[in-house]
Amino acid sequence: MTERLAGKTALVTGAAQGIGKAIATRLAADGATVIVSDVNAEGAKAAAAAIGGKAKAIAADISDPASVKALFAEIKALTGGVDILVNNASIVPFIAWDDVDLDHWRKIIDVNLTGTFIVTRAATDQMRAANKSGRVISIASNTFFAGTPNMAAYVAAKGGVIGFTRALATELGKYNITANALAPGLIESDGVKASPHNEAFGFVEMLQAVKGKGQPEHIADVVSFLASDDARWITGQTLNVDAGMVRY
Ligand code: NAD
Ligand code: 4PL
């Protein structure tokens, strides 16, 4: 679509399907060399093949430090290092409050929040070692602002991602690395289509200022902007991308 990311290496986690796949597709169309990563190795391969060009699949579990270490070693060997990190991988549960036990809580915090830290730590260390002016873009959720039902641990983890983004901007600004988050509303991703969240579109649309069903491309287009040089003066921010469902 543009060439504004030519020469950049972008890592998108959770890119086998849904919003992550749309982001990987858009960043590749902007000229980036895209690393399509997912715990689902076959899905990552298929997504990279569908994108074509320089896109490359590398399987990794964001919650496993050894797996993430191997991911960044491979990226370094392949491209010289990451310029743009998109923290997209997460588990999107639908779970009644009465079923939220400690095992569920730990699993969601471990993947959605601690996994985001593990990948961000490795990515930003790699950016600094190569003296790159980097970008960290994390996919949070407007559920943090809305307190959406049936996903209490998820809402808490996304609040953690937003807090982490603010702190990271402070820590890394001196290296010309920016950190921002997006807070999407309900999006018709592969995961949502296959879950009870798919029943919520009518209610969510009623709350939106602009009507319609949220699509992965609505998010990917904003990630493209935040990854570009046009967004160089934005850091520590969380941008709601939800057709005006939540206003704060
Ligand atoms: P999805 O379930 O369709 O896709 C998520 C991908 O992440 C899957 O391919 C899955 O294999 C991968 N993944 C899960 N755990 C992983 C791990 N440990 N390591 C690596 N990969 C892992 O989800 P989606 O709806 O496309 O959501 C993408 C992002 O957008 C998530 O961060 C989600 O929280 C966020 N989000 C989604 C919505 C929505 O309504 N769909 C709204 C707001 C925010
Ligand atoms: C408004 O992030 O933002 C359902 C499921 N509804 O995962 C989300 C809304 C879901 C959301 C989300």
For ligand 2, whether the C-beta of 187 sits within 6 Å is no
- pLDDT higher than 80, residue 1: no
The pLDDT assigned to 151 comes to: 98
Q: Tell me the CA–centroid distance for residue 92 and ligand 1, in Å.
A: 6
Q: Tell me the CA–centroid distance for residue 245 and ligand 1, in Å.
A: 20
Residue owning the nearest CA to atom 11 of ligand 2:
186
The burial class, CB within 10 Å (0-12 / 13-18 / 19+), for 246 is middle
Token reading at 230: 């046009």
Q: Would you place residue 195 in the very low, low, confident or very high pLDDT band (cuts 50, 70, 90)?
A: very high
Buried b (16+ CB within 10 A) or exposed e, 110-126: bbbbbbbbbbbebbbeb
Ligand 1 atom having least distance to the Cα of 88:
32
Q: Which listed residue (26, 154, 186, 241) is catalytic?
A: 154
For ligand 2, whether the C-beta of 141 sits within 6 Å is yes
Residue owning the nearest CA to atom 9 of ligand 2:
186
The pLDDT assigned to 94 comes to: 98
Give me the DSSP letters along 17-82. SHHHHHHHHHHHHTT-EEEEEES-HHHHHHHHHHH-TT-EEEE--TT-HHHHHHHHHHHHHHHS--
Mean pLDDT estimate for the chain: 98
In angstroms, the CA 118 to CA 245 distance is 31
Token reading at 153: 């641990």
The pLDDT assigned to 179 comes to: 99
> Which pLDDT tens digit goes with each residue over 84-139?
999 999 999 999 999 999 999 999 999 999 999 999 999 999 999 999 999 999 99
For ligand 1, whether the C-beta of 91 sits within 6 Å is yes
CA angle 198, 193, 151 (to 5 degrees): 55
For ligand 2, whether the C-beta of 148 sits within 6 Å is yes
Q: How far is CA 163 from CA 45, 110, 205, 207, 238, in A?
A: 33, 16, 28, 25, 10
Active-site residue flag, 175: no
Q: Torsions phi, psi of 9, nearest 5?
A: -105, 125
Radius of gyration of the chain (CA): 17
- pLDDT higher than 80, residue 180: yes
For ligand 2, whether the C-beta of 27 sits within 6 Å is no
Q: Tell me the CA–centroid distance for residue 14 and ligand 1, in Å.
A: 6
In angstroms, the CA 238 to CA 139 distance is 9
Q: Tell me the CA–centroid distance for residue 165 and ligand 1, in Å.
A: 18
Token reading at 178: 């920016």
For ligand 2, whether the C-beta of 197 sits within 6 Å is yes
> Which pLDDT tens digit goes with each residue over 51-64?
999 999 999 999 99
The pLDDT assigned to 248 comes to: 82
The burial class, CB within 10 Å (0-12 / 13-18 / 19+), for 194 is exposed
Contacts of 153 (CB under 8 A, 6+ apart): 93, 95, 100, 104, 105, 108, 109
Q: Tell me the CA–centroid distance for residue 135 and ligand 2, in Å.
A: 25
Inter-residue contact 51 to 103 (CB < 8 Å): no
Q: Encode 136-187 in three state secondary structure.
A: EEEECCCHHHHCCCCCHHHHHHHHHHHHHHHHHHHHHHHHCCEEEEEEECCE
> Which pLDDT tens digit goes with each residue over 197-235?
999 999 999 999 999 999 999 999 999 999 999 999 999
Q: In percent, how much of the chain has pLDDT > 70?
A: 100
